[in-house]
Every structure is written in C-alpha cells, then in structure tokens.
Structure 1
Amino acid sequence: MKIAFLYIAEAYQCYHGATIALELATRHGIDITNYYNDPETPHHLERVRLAAGAPAAPCLPLHRSKFTTLMQSIRSLGMFKNLVLRDNVAELNHYDAIVTVEDTVASARSLGITHPRLIYGPHGCGDRARGFTDEVRAFDYVLLPGEKSARRMLKSGLIQPDNHTVIGSVKLETCAMLHRADGPLFSIPRPTVLYNAHKARGLSSWGRFIEPMLELFGRQSTFNLIVAPHTKMFRRRSHAVRKRWNTRTTPGILIDTGSDRCVDMTYTSAADIYVGDVSSQVYEFLITPRPCVFLNAHGIDWRNNPDFAHWHLGDVVDDPKDLMAVMHAAPARHAIYRDRQVEMASRSLGNRSPGAARRGADAILDFIRS
C-alpha cells in the first residue's frame, strides 16, 4: 500500500502530521513518501524524525511548472497551492491514499486526482470559522484532535459518524519529543508574557497593538516579553523586513519572526501569561492552565460567537492603553477562568495519553482496508 503525505503549505504543518507518517512506515507492506511545497519542510521533517529515532523516508519536492515557479517567485502572492496540485496530478494518482493537514487539498478531485483516498487532519484545534469550512466535506476520512472539533463538524454536516476518528493532538506529542537547547530565554528572571498574534485579516491584533505593546513593556521591569506571531505573518516578507523586526530585541523583549521556536511550542511552554487574538496556540499554552489575555482590535461582538469561545478563558482588552493594567491583574484573576480553561483545553486537545500518532496510523489503515 502506497501512502503520500502531502505538505503543500508552510513547513510548520509538519508538526501536525509527520509522526503519523513515521508510525505508518513501521507497518508491514506500507510505503510512505513525503511531498513538500515549502523548501523549509525537509529541515522540519528531519528534525521530527531524529527526535523520534525513526529511519528516513523518501522526501520529494512537488513538481512545479514554469508558470507555477514564476508565480511562486513573487513571495508576497503566496504559495499557489492549487497550481502545485495541478502540476502533480499524475504523480499523486499513483497512491492509494493522500494524507494532508491542509484543507486546500479538498480541490484534488476537481483537479483530476481521483484514485487516492483523501485523508485530512486539521493543523490546529482552534475555534474560528476558518477551521470549519465546507472543504472538509471533500475528504474521505478526517482525523481530529478533540471532541470539540468533532461535535462542531458533525453538527454542520462536515463529517459523518463513520468517517472520522478523534485521536488527540499529534503536535503536542511531537513537540514533547524534540531536543531543544537548554538555558533561559532571558538573562533577567521575571514572569514571561507571550504575545502570539495571528495574521488573519480583520481579526489580527498586530496592527493596532504591537507598537503600543513594545512601548509599554519597554518602560517597565515586571515582565519579560516574547513577541512570536504566527509564522505565516512574516512568511512572505523579505529577509530584510524580518531582520529589522528581530533586531528590535532587547534584554527584556525577545522578537522572533520565524525561527524553529515559533513552531515547536518552545514559547508556549516557557511563558507565564498568554496574550493573543485567534490562534489555536492558546490551547497548546493551556496544557498547563495559566493566565490569558485576549486582544479585540476590531471591536468584535464576540461574547455569544462560537468562533471566539477561547476569549472566555481570560480578560479581553479593547484598547491598548488598558493592556498593562490587565496584565498586572491577570495572575490574581486567573482563578476566575481556570476551571473553564481545563474543560475547554480537554475538549480541544482530546486524549493526551501517549499514542496520538499510533492512533492516527491505526485509523488510517482501518479506513483504507475497509
């Protein structure tokens, strides 16, 4: 049986699927090939493989036509994932199944990829509507981290009772294996705040909050601050732009626009307080309940909106001038939110016992063989 793992988007998605591929590769009669679009992907796949102590599997770049190559050379325009899929129809049709953590692959059938079963595992466990779109219906089988996602998708008719399995968070399990450099992130030990802004248009807090935040934290000596936005925010920016932001780091403020630490839970593990908007990384932070603060930069009416369920896990700030007062109050106010954090993290992240990748591999094989 031949199975392709398709990493057609940014390399950070490796942490959501690579260990399932490694587990499947240990099974008799299963041939695994990794295909990638982002040239940084092999580095991350190898990092996961070494941490798992697994043998190497084939890792191939997806073919790109001259037109696709030209379009991708304009970094600001994106990765042209559908063009890349179209360029690889013949290659991918040789497989019995394609496993992906990117919903763009929902277009595979319309592009001519008709033979393989399509298997999808979302690369996150957040609340916003982007994770619950009609694209999910195009997949033959779906692997989900927790019951929250399963119930919402079932209610919306995106999945059926017999075409999904809840396996737990593959990313949590993967990142727990990784080898990281020892040593503190800051020379002065203080409570550490992580600011994790998303790039989502109309939802991101970055444009309104980043400069006031840097000014406020630069004038105080109570907290250290990690600024680590979603890795896609700077993915299309030039090296010069990223360097300009990174060099604004100070002894008490660490700015990281895209290192390995932005994608491997280094920062969510190290922080004492989480500050963000709509990233599902808040649930990764809440594997240990801790204070959270959420930034409503666009005046969103969020209280009865399921896309912002996580904003009930901490105080919400509408105006940058209120941020530091809320930050100082967050530890004392954490008791208000702690029980709800535990409940929602459990429903989002699912089964945290060892074996998420094994459960995913078992579900994939059971589905294909049935």
Structure 2
Amino acid sequence: MTQKVAFLFLGETLLIPHLYPIVEALVAIAPDLPVDLWVSTSMHETLLSAWVRDAGMTTVRIRRAPGFRSLVGYADGRNPPLPAKLPMLFRLAPYLARTAVVVCAEQTSLWLPATLPLRTRFIDTFHGAGSMMARGHWRRRAGWRTLVAAERDRGALIAGGDDPARIVTTGYVKAAFRQRTPPARLFEDAKPVIFYNPHWQAHRSSWWRWGPETVERILADGRFNLIFAPHQRLVERAPALRAFVAGLAGRDGIHCDLDSFAMVDGSYTAAADLYLGDTSSQVVEYLTRPRPCVFLNARDADWRNDGSYAMWEAGEVVDTLSALMPTIEQASTVHPEYTAFQQRFAQEALGDVSGLAPDRAAREVIAALRR
C-alpha cells in the first residue's frame, strides 16, 4: 500500500467547499505527501485543476475516476449530471485499495469499506450543518474517523451508537473555503435582499405547496429584491422548476440560480438581508452573522415539539400564506428578540468558524497515515 491520500470529488458541487479546504491544509502540513483528487466529471476537473495550479501544489494530481464524464458547458462550476455513483465507486476500489487514506464528504463512498475487505482507512467529513443532520448510518461506522463540525453533532452520533473514539470535532471546514464566487452586483437598486432557499426533500420543503406563490407575492409587493436559489437538488425532484424560473426572466427585483457554484459556496448567504426558507442547513451558515429570518411552515409541522426544527427558533414562523408579507415586513423590527438565540444556535451547530477546522481535519489524516 502506498503512503498517499485520496480525496473523492465524485458528487454534487455542494460537497466541494466541505472537502477542498482539507486538501489545502494537508498540503501545507505535509508538502511532500502524494495526494490524488479523484473526480467524476470535467466540471470537477476544471475547477480543481485551476485551484491546484494557482496554489502551486506540485504533489497533488487530478485523476479521472472510472466512468468519468466529459461535459460541454459546465466549466463555470454549475452542478453537472453525474455518473452513477455506486458503479463508479466499485470500479475505483482497486485504485483506492493501494491508497493509505481516503477522505470523502458523503456517506455513499462508505459502501466501499462497509462491503469490501480494504485496509485503506476512510475518513468521512460531514457536509451541511444544523438540526436536520443525518444521525448516522451503519455504513458510516465502517470509516476510520467521522469528522463533525460541532460537539452537538458528535453527541448525536454517539447517542445513536457510534464509538466515541471514531467521532472527531473539527469545527466548520467550509468556513475556510476561499474560492467563493467573486461578489457581483445582482440588483440595480439598494432594496433589502431576501434569500429564498427551499429544501429539496418534499417532506421538509415549502416549495411544493407554497413556493411559486411565495415568489410571486414578494415580487408583487415590490419593496424587496429576491435571490431565489433553492437547494441544488430541488430541480431533480421538481422538474417543472426550470420552466417556472424561465418564466421569471426579465422581471425586475429577482435573481434566480439553479445551477451555478454560487449556490453552494456561501455567496448568497453573505449577500442577504433576510433569510426565507424551511429546513435547509444554509440558514446556519447565514446565522454566522445574525440577521432576520422567516420560516415557512407549509406542511403544518408540529415544529415546537420536533428537534429537527430547532432552527425555527431563530425567527418568525409563517403558518399561512396570507401572513407572509406582514411577517417579512416586521422581521427587522422583531429581530433583536432572536439575536441571542441565533448566535448560540450557530455556535452550537457549526462549532469553530475561525478557519482552523481544515487544519484539524488534516491532522486526523496524518494520524491515519501513522497508524
């Protein structure tokens, strides 16, 4: 087995900011260590190659996974159509078997150590944050280490049966991501900006029942600018979404994004004056700088008795569409009532956001090599 490390960039672009800062930190700590970045599409290849080249990372190689897709028109970083993950992983297994440590940011890749007799040590770093986090899956326990942002996440996994020695708190890796989309002026005026960010899973999302009407009511009101950038997987579950967005073309006061890398790199959470959504973990990133929030209870959730909706204590909750605009109007006025909770919630959910998390994660990789 070769003393080298592999990072798996095989999935959606939303995973990249949770993984790439660890690559940078690892190279800084161990500049002579060979590192392979396995990619599934030419979009990943183009994006990562530019960053590696610009940083002068001579020990890092970009490698095409079996089943690699060469795509036209995705060089800007928008989410690409992906090859089937499991066939790609199992074709990749012989290469990874000759690698000492593999780092991934999703559970699917853990099918390999869960089902094959590999000596390779897999390290899984959580992506996303907040009360909707996955509580663990049996295949996650096949990894050598699971890296989580905050002690709350660690406690949840341990309570679910994970070995405490396997769960390591690093802080929020994405907070150190430096390759964000450059700020651009999205709107011609200085109206307050609402960021509407519905979840992609129907049982957690406001989109199917209230989404289009929510957008229309905000635009008809005319006092706000709107960034409509849902979870990037929503379009998979709601194919009519593209036609809806196309119908908004040319209208003032709205910026729609279903594809670009800005959807996942933190650009929109930084630009917003008010967060409007349901259960997406992006609200937690938004709350690293406390600002008004409004949550849409489109599915009549009994949210006060459900820990999965803990984030809804960070702002006003709308139970009927008729209350949408009045609630948005008063959000800034009532915001001081929620500031203390927002600060506490973000700290509990994300842990350390100082930028040191990738270094802690990289040191776990080094520890795996030494074992």
Identify the match of residue 165 of structure 2 among 162, 167, 170. Answer: 162
Identify the match of residue 18 of structure 2 among 16, 19, 40. Answer: 16
Deviation of the 1:276 alpha carbon: 1.1
Matches for 1:1-370 after TM superposition, within 5 Å: 1-26=3-28, 27-46=30-49, 48-49=51-52, 54-55=57-58, 57-64=60-67, 79-112=83-116, 114-128=118-132, 130-158=134-162, 160-174=163-177, 177-178=178-179, 180-234=181-235, 242=242, 245-246=245-246, 248-249=248-249, 250-370=251-371
- Maintained 8 Å contact 1:85/1:111: no
Whole-Å separation in 2 of the counterparts to 1:90 and 1:181 = 39
Residues 213-254 of structure 1, C-alpha deviations (whole Å, 9 max, x = no match): 12211212221111000112236888x974762561422011
Deviation of the 1:328 alpha carbon: 0.8
**TM-score normalised according to structure 1 size:** 0.88
Whole-Å separation in 1 of the counterparts to 2:149 and 2:202 = 25
Deviation of the 1:111 alpha carbon: 4.1
Deviation of the 1:8 alpha carbon: 2.5
- Maintained 8 Å contact 1:246/1:256: no
Deviation of the 1:201 alpha carbon: 2.9
Unaligned runs of 5+ in 2: 70-78
Please state whether the residue corresponding to 2:60 is helix, strand or coil.
Answer: coil
Count of matched residue pairs: 358
- Structure 2 match to 1:72: none
- Maintained 8 Å contact 1:194/1:267: yes
- Maintained 8 Å contact 2:175/2:354: no
- Maintained 8 Å contact 1:7/1:102: no
Please state whether the residue corresponding to 2:337 is helix, strand or coil.
Answer: helix
Structure 2 residue identity aligned to 1:108: L
- Maintained 8 Å contact 1:89/1:111: no
Whole-Å separation in 2 of the counterparts to 1:246 and 1:46 = 32
Unaligned runs of 5+ in 1: 67-74
- Maintained 8 Å contact 1:228/1:255: yes
- CA change 1:244–1:316 in 2 (3 A) is closer
- Maintained 8 Å contact 1:199/1:233: yes
Structure 2 residue identity aligned to 1:282: V
- Maintained 8 Å contact 1:101/1:123: yes
- Maintained 8 Å contact 1:194/1:228: yes
Structure 2 residue identity aligned to 1:318: D
Structure 1 residue identity aligned to 2:102: I
Structure 2 residue identity aligned to 1:40: M
Please state whether the residue corresponding to 1:17 is helix, strand or coil.
Answer: helix
Deviation of the 1:136 alpha carbon: 2.6
- Structure 1 match to 2:73: none
- Maintained 8 Å contact 2:13/2:264: no
- Maintained 8 Å contact 1:141/1:163: yes
Q: CA RMSD in A?
A: 2.7
- Maintained 8 Å contact 1:193/1:274: yes
Deviates more, 1:310-319 or 1:244-253: 244-253
Please state whether the residue corresponding to 2:304 is helix, strand or coil.
Answer: coil
Structure 1 residue identity aligned to 2:130: G
Whole-Å separation in 2 of the counterparts to 1:24 and 1:321 = 52
- Structure 2 match to 1:70: none
Residues 168-206 of structure 1, C-alpha deviations (whole Å, 9 max, x = no match): 1111110xx236444421101111100011111311111
Deviation of the 1:92 alpha carbon: 1.4
- Maintained 8 Å contact 2:114/2:142: no
Structure 1 residue identity aligned to 2:357: A
- CA change 1:60–1:113 in 2 (3 A) is farther
- CA change 1:52–1:322 in 2 (3 A) is farther
